[in-house]
Chain A
Amino acid sequence: MNFLLYLSDYMIPIVIFYIVGFGLLMRTNVFASFLKGVKDGFQVVLDIAPTLIALMVSVGILRASGGLNYLAAFLSPLTSWLHFPGQLVPLALMKMVSSSAATGLLLDIFKEFGTDSYIGRVASIMMSSTETIFYTMSVYFTAAKVQKTRYTLAGALVATLAGIVASVALAGW
């Protein structure tokens, strides 16, 4: 656990140091490159902002109505048997469909339970270690003009499940 915390704290400074240092060694104009990247970053945030606003509104409405709690309560026998926090069921399901919608749910969890609660930690790790299965598959296979996806979905589900199990285990560790 100590090692994990150490790694977490120093990972980002080390990565930044390494990349900027390497850039200087290779005589890259690091400042110009950085500015160009910053411009791209602005564009990315601008691109996802509308989706984020739309989905945070819809999730906010659903949450205020108490609908999410009904869903979690409905699934609670199954999830408690699996030692999986029932409050995270909507998040786990949503993450398979849409990353931005899942983000809306994640922020909801942060608000309600706090980022540093057990639930908040499981949610953070889970979101970091899983991908949007159905979105990715539909976009990528459309590009290759593929209709028969064979065992891709099964493999993706296996990988995602492994990520979820690991998240629950690691957050409580």
Chain B
Amino acid sequence: MIAILWAGMIILGVIIGICTGQGAAVGEAAISSSREAVTLCITMLGVMTLWTGIMQIARDSGLIAGMSKGMRPVMRLLFPDLPEEHPATEYIISNMIANILGLGWAATPLGLSAMRELAKWEEEKEGRANTYGTDIESKNKNQNPRKTGGRASVDMCTFLIINISSLQLIPINIIAYRTQYGAVRPTDIVGAAILATFCSTLAGVLFSIIARKLATKREAAYQSSRQNATSFGKGVRR
């Protein structure tokens, strides 16, 4: 996707540039842009390393672990069925905190682990898997296409929507770019950014809660209509 986008911009740019007689400008832009990118990376090193250093202190001192406890009520609101002691809970909380603090690269591995745990939890809920990763489990998965196999669970949808709604409190990278490009007060957008982030997250939360209600209702209707088939399947396995 990115490859096509990248090549497309170059091809399109060169064609348009030649057609409109901007060929020289295009050539110059190519060279000056790369120089500028390197300058930017050097500026960014300063801001970025300050931030990652501070965050490492927060992690080592147990501050992040302490914040996890404060997230419990949020978790109950967003994932009412997920047990507190399930590994997915811990991963989701750490991922959200990392996102709030703007540790995008630290958030991604945690988020991927959370998704894998949510997939396992879905299977546990169906009562089809007593142990993880066994042959029985994978065989069962293929028997019922409506279940976990290839279909996002409600918890996964909620998790991703909240994740994509942007949780980052202090947009440290944007501040760095603003500094580089001569903003009088690079940080003067932070307040507005926090409010806008709050709006987008609120919209994501409301959407997730409503969608969960609708999905649960539909699921219940589906389950009751298929109750015979399901109990038959369980009987066979035991």
Query: Could you list which residues of chain A lie within 8 angstroms of chain B, going by C-beta atoms?
Result: 3-9, 11-12, 15-16, 19-20, 22-23, 25-26, 28-30, 33-38, 40-42, 44-45, 47, 49, 52-67, 70, 97-98, 101, 103, 106-107, 110-111, 114-116, 120-121, 124-134, 136-137, 139-141, 143-152, 154-156, 158-163, 165-167, 170-171, 173
Contacts and interface: CB of A to CB of B under 8 A. Distances in A.
Interface string B37-74: 11011001100111111111111111100000000000
A165 B197 CA distance: 11
Contact of B22 (A30, A64, A107): A64
Nearest to B32: A60
A130 B203 CA distance: 12
Nearest to A34: B53
B41 to A, nearest CB: 5
B183 A163 contact: no
B168 interface: yes
Interface stretch (B109-117, B125-133, B224-232): B109-117
Contacts of A29: 60
A4 B195 CA distance: 9
B134 interface: no
A163 B190 contact: no
B143 to A, nearest CB: 16
Given A101-B2, A115-B182, A140 B188 contact: no
B115 A141 contact: yes
Contact of A150 (B152, B170, B175): B152
Q: Please tell me the size bucket of the interface on B.
A: 35 or more
Nearest to B101: A15
Contact of A37 (B30, B54, B207): B54
16 contacts: A6-B191, A19-B55, A26-B62, A40-B56, A49-B37, A54-B6, A57-B37, A64-B13, A67-B16, A98-B2, A107-B40, A116-B184, A124-B189, A136-B160, A140-B160, A170-B195
B221 interface: no
Contact of A146 (B26, B37, B150): B150
Contacts of B197: 128-129, 163
Contact of A144 (B152, B166, B202): B152
A60 B165 CA distance: 29
Given A52-B37, A141-B152, A152-B161, A128 B56 contact: no
A128 B10 contact: no
A9 B192 contact: no
A158 B152 contact: no
A90 B15 CA distance: 19
Contacts of A126: 196
Contact of A23 (B34, B58, B163, B178): B58
B152 A61 contact: no
B33 A37 contact: no
B1 interface: yes
Contact of A41 (B15, B33, B45, B160): B45
B26 A65 contact: yes
Contacts of B156: 141, 144, 146, 152
B160 A9 contact: no
B22 A66 contact: yes
Find the residue from B41, B105, B161 having the highest chain A CB count within 10 A. Answer: B161
Given A64-B28, A67-B16, A116-B184, A16 B54 contact: yes
